[in-house]
Structure 1
Amino acid sequence: MEAVNKRNGGAELSTVLDSQKEVFLSQKHLCPDQRKAFNDILHCRTSQMGSHSLCCDSCGRVKVCYNSCRNRHCPKCQYIKQQLWVEKLKCRLLPVRYFHAVFTVPEFLNPLFYINQRFCYNLLFECSAKAVKKTALNPVFLGVESGCLSVLHTWGQSLNYHPHIHMLVPAGGLDSDGMQWLYAGKKFFVPVKALSSVFRGLFMERLLGALEDNLLRIPDGQKELFADIKSLKRESYAKMWNVYIKKTFRGAGQVVSYLGRYTHRVAISNSRILDTDGETVKFRWKDYRDNKTKTMLLACSEFVRRFMQHVLPTGFYKIRYYGILASANSNTKMNECFRLLNITREVSFYHGLSTYEVMEEIFGEEMFRCTCCKNGRMVFAPPGEKGNGP
């Protein structure tokens, strides 16, 4: 593998999927959720997804546009969702510094996670959030009621299976009386080793309980390990679990800018796919061991297999709020936090706008300028009008 310079991608994910559709769709390699994502991405913005018409309000030209699939795993369908979410978040986040924490589990648990995704992902969310809230509340550290915003990622740069939580934690919280906002120091308000130990203890307690109650499927190659609780505990407590605290963000604006790149990201974007010949695919990835950008060449079948590992269960929420940031506290504790910080809460700029108006604000008026007369605007046409092609 060689280091490369960044450039625009030369292929799309849908092209790679199309080369492998007979193998993956006919031989029952995919579960229903994966099959739906595969088909949606494959047919995104094609006639298979249906169409809508735009009509020029000046010359009357009608243009047919194919619909997006809107699948959250599609690299083409996340940008507008991301912009709307980011704008909404600007009005929700407290104007304070933030810490970025990353929670992972030992690699030997990955097979268990993969075949028990909904349960294990929920467990990862709940235990990481509880660890932060519990340690922040400890008077030995900061002694405040805190909260967090958590985002689940299941991939590494090479598309390997690597479930982990990215978390944003405000640098402070409400005191025990709820009457004062207490600020944390420059460093994270809890020692990382202490946070890691609490997270590990909470997670293993819940995991062992689920195993004893036979709530989990056990991977074929690990039945002996998970059948012996003592061996499992030794394996789990052999080393500290990886909890990593990244740089501090100075305010909500910097946080939102950063989060916009993380929250609605899919396992791989089209810009990272450099080339494919139908047999192999070359894509760009960052090797964090030496912090260099490199290229990787994989067989298309292996590339698709890796990508499909990251399709989440239907209805599973990959972005969650806890503690003072939870939706249940929006009109109570969050309002009190804004009052204590002497800041007025704002309403999202996009609130009340139609989809067309939102797109015009995001992409600009030129996107809807008629290419025929150059003066009119393309607006949604009544159903049934024939167009001049997509």
Structure 2
Amino acid sequence: MPRPRLEIADIFRTHGPAYRQANAGHLSFSQLRVMSAIETCRTEALGGHVAACTKCDHHHIAYNSCKNRHCPKCQAPAARDWMMARSEDLLPVEYFHVVFTLPAEIARIALWNKRAIYSLLFKASAETVATIAADPKRLGARIGMTSVLHTWGSALTHHPHIHMIVPGGGLSPDGTRWVACKPGFFLHVRVLSRLFRRLFVEGLMALHRAGQLRFFGDLTRLADASAFAEWLTPFRKTDWVVYAKPPFGGPEAVLAYLSRYTHRAAISNHRLVSTDAGTVAFKWKDYRIKRGDSMKVMRLPTFEFIRRFLMHVLPDRFHRIRHYGFLAGSRRRAKVAQIRALHGATRSAEPDRPADDPPAPLTLREPCPDCGGQMRIIETFRRGQIPRTRAPPRKQAA
């Protein structure tokens, strides 16, 4: 994929200093660190390496990535590595995609209480699916699931929701059988929605009683227990959005699908259209349009665009990908192997490299852009250092 001509980093480098000055004292340390990481990503400020082709005379300088999980440029390699690791967990069964969404009013208070409410969103959604699946009247099985948190809508608005990928079945209570769900059907969405609503509201009340919620602006009154309980009452009766998508085409399709969700930033560089002194234009999808072209272009004041982007910075050390049931914990591999055995499927292990083999040379995944040969790292340099090897100018196409 060609490099986009406009990047989030360009916007941050140009307008970041003025934004930080205008919002001094109102940005968290995490947000400041994300801005700095994106601004310096793949620049000489982070050091890098020189790579040379093993077949032709091409070589080039590549600067290090920041590896920040909010940086759009760093997500593709991270997703690729994660997907390779999780491919070991794939089962020969149907997979379903279930989404849990919070009402907009509750999502608003999540902005001030990210760690508490995002954690509750994970917990309530996972407990909902596990509880309904374990019900003998439903599936009657112990299931596994992978949950991914997204906090944004297509227009960069605050829209926290959980994407959950669930194998279509689970282990029987005694662990000796695989209990499959009905073909093409997982669990009743309405039943999931009602239990999720109850568990989340109960969790919110518990957080409030423990003094773990903060309120600002016109919602400061909710710090009072009785006012908060009254405010929550309507949410106990409204429908909460939970929906399940049709099953995937197969285990391989699950990996391809997950790769689009696990390591995604709030907006990719390829969605940026243009920027000038006062505005940023980017593509967004209007989900209200069911037919025809739903892609539109939105223009925001530059500072508002930056504010919306930073709104999705997660708390430090907060895990946005979590595993539950038989896909969680140290017993995951044993459980997955047991389930494969129940299906009569096996996965052959890669042979170990002999201990006396020489270590593999430090090579790159990407081939040479001139001849397609393998690229090998011939020099590395640290922050502030200048590489000794200079890259020659690229050959012009005839």
When normalised by structure 2's length, the TM-score is 0.86
Q: Within 5 Å, which residues of 2 pair with 1:24-43? A: 24-26=19-21, 27-28=23-24, 29-43=26-40
From 317, 322, 325, the equivalent of 1:323 is 325
Deviation for aligned residue 1:25: 2.2
- Contact 2:379/2:389 (<8 A) preserved: no
1:356/1:110 Cα in 2 relative to 1: closer, same or farther (>3 Å)?
A: farther
Instruction: Show the counterpart of 2:123.
Output: 126
Distance 1:241 1:376 in 2: 52
Distance 1:375 1:171 in 2: 43
Q: Within 5 Å, which residues of 2 pair with 1:93-104? A: 93-104=90-101
198-207 or 327-336: bigger deviation: 327-336
Residue type of the partner of 1:345? R
Residue type of the partner of 1:151? V
Instruction: Show the counterpart of 1:248.
Output: 247
- Contact 2:138/2:187 (<8 A) preserved: yes
From 136, 147, 155, the equivalent of 2:152 is 155
From 313, 317, 335, the equivalent of 2:337 is 335
Instruction: Show the counterpart of 1:82.
Output: 79
Instruction: Show the counterpart of 1:269.
Output: 268
Residue type of the partner of 1:276? T
Deviation for aligned residue 1:76: 0.9
Instruction: Show the counterpart of 2:259.
Output: 260
Q: Percent identity?
A: 37
Distance 1:216 1:71 in 2: 28
| 1:137 aligned onto 2:134 | yes
Distance 1:350 1:73 in 2: 35
Residue type of the partner of 1:232? W
Residue type of the partner of 1:231? E
Distance 1:347 1:267 in 2: 37
- Summarize deviations over 1:93-116 as a string: whole Å, max 9, x none: 212111101101111112221111
Instruction: Show the counterpart of 1:46.
Output: 43
Q: Within 5 Å, which residues of 2 pair with 1:62-211? A: 63-211=60-208
Distance 1:36 1:275 in 2: 25
Distance 1:313 1:351 in 2: 40
Deviation for aligned residue 1:55: 4.7
- Contact 1:132/1:147 (<8 A) preserved: no
Residue type of the partner of 1:252? P
- Summarize deviations over 1:36-89 as a string: whole Å, max 9, x none: 110111111112222323356678887433211111111111111111111222
User: SS in structure 1 opposite 2:124?
Assistant: helix
Q: Within 5 Å, which residues of 2 pair with 1:227-246? A: 227=224, 228-246=227-245
Residue type of the partner of 1:118? R
Q: Which runs of 5+ in 1 are unaligned?
A: 1-6
| 1:289 aligned onto 2:288 | yes
Instruction: Show the counterpart of 1:3.
Output: none
User: SS in structure 2 opposite 1:173?
Assistant: strand
- Contact 1:12/1:270 (<8 A) preserved: yes
1:62/1:286 Cα in 2 relative to 1: closer, same or farther (>3 Å)?
A: closer
Distance 2:42 2:153 in 1: 28
Deviation for aligned residue 1:346: 4.7
- Contact 2:158/2:311 (<8 A) preserved: yes
51-60 or 121-130: bigger deviation: 51-60
Aligned-pair Cα RMSD in Å: 2.8
Residue type of the partner of 1:249? F
1:381/1:147 Cα in 2 relative to 1: closer, same or farther (>3 Å)?
A: same
From 1, 6, 11, the equivalent of 2:6 is 11
Q: Which runs of 5+ in 2 are unaligned?
A: 393-398
Instruction: Show the counterpart of 1:4.
Output: none
Give the number of aligned pairs: 376
Instruction: Show the counterpart of 2:300.
Output: 298
Distance 2:361 2:253 in 1: 27
Residue type of the partner of 1:17? F
1:284/1:348 Cα in 2 relative to 1: closer, same or farther (>3 Å)?
A: farther
- Contact 1:154/1:164 (<8 A) preserved: yes
Distance 1:16 1:375 in 2: 35
User: SS in structure 1 opposite 2:61?
Assistant: strand
Q: Which has the higher contact order (CA 8 A, sep 6+)?
A: 1
58-67 or 178-187: bigger deviation: 58-67
- Contact 1:150/1:165 (<8 A) preserved: yes
- Summarize deviations over 1:214-265 as a string: whole Å, max 9, x none: 1221233213345324313312213011111112113211111111111111
When normalised by structure 1's length, the TM-score is 0.88
Distance 2:41 2:389 in 1: 20
Distance 1:149 1:277 in 2: 41
- Contact 1:17/1:42 (<8 A) preserved: yes
Distance 1:233 1:375 in 2: 62
Distance 1:349 1:259 in 2: 27
Q: Structure 1 runs of 4+ off > 6 angstroms?
A: 58-62, 348-355
Deviation for aligned residue 1:345: 2.9
User: SS in structure 1 opposite 2:246?
Assistant: strand
